[in-house]
Amino acid sequence: METFDALLARWADAEARGDTAMLDGLLAPEFRGDGPAGFVLGKRQWLDRDIDPGPFLWTVSSTRVRHHTGIATGVVGSFACTVVAVRRRGWVIVNIQLGRLG
């Protein structure tokens, strides 16, 4: 069974490569992406957004797993980032929140 940390690594890799096929498998059907300007994207909108392949610097500050929920906080580029995932038959990401630093 995949670990929460392995899911985070696969997510960062998929974002870095702009691999929407891989992201599609990592995001839950009810996925919600919350952006720094207040925008909210569903799964299809998240996958359809303009992804710049290239450096994707995900620096993890903390991770914790409780029961079937994993939460990771860190920094992506110039944004604070929280990733929330749940374990069903495997781990899937249900929410990503991005906020401006400082």
User: How many residues does this entry show for the chain?
Assistant: 102
Question: What is the model's pLDDT at position 1?
Answer: 56
Q: Per-residue pLDDT tens for 17-62?
A: 889 999 999 999 999 999 988 899 999 999 998 777 667 789 999 9
Q: Global pTM?
A: 0.92
Helix, strand, coil % (nearest 5) of the chain? 25, 45, 25
pLDDT of residue 43: 97
List, in order of start, the domains of the chain with CATH numbers. Answer: 4-100 (3.10.450.50)
> Residue 85: which residues within 8 A CB-CB, separation 6 or more?
4, 7, 69, 70, 71, 72, 91, 92, 93, 94
